[in-house]
Amino acid sequence: MVKCVFININQLTQVARYYSAPILFHGYEFYFFLRLQNIGSNDPDNQDNLKLAGYLRCMSKIPEGAKHRLPVCSTVVILEDDEKVVRSFAPSSVILEANEKAIGGSLMLGEENWQQVKTGNCPIVINDKVTVKVTVEFLPDEDGCLLVNEIRE
List of domains in the chain: 2-147 (2.60.210.10)
Q: First-to-last CA distance in the chain?
A: 23
Contact 52, 114 (CB under 8 A): yes
Counting as low any pLDDT under 70, the low residues of the chain are 41, 43-47, 62-67, 149-153
Contact 77, 132 (CB under 8 A): yes
Query: So what's the pLDDT on residue 122?
Result: 93
Among 77, 86, 73, smallest CA distance to 145 is for 73
Query: So what's the pLDDT on residue 151?
Result: 47
pTM: 0.87
Query: So what's the pLDDT on residue 39?
Result: 80
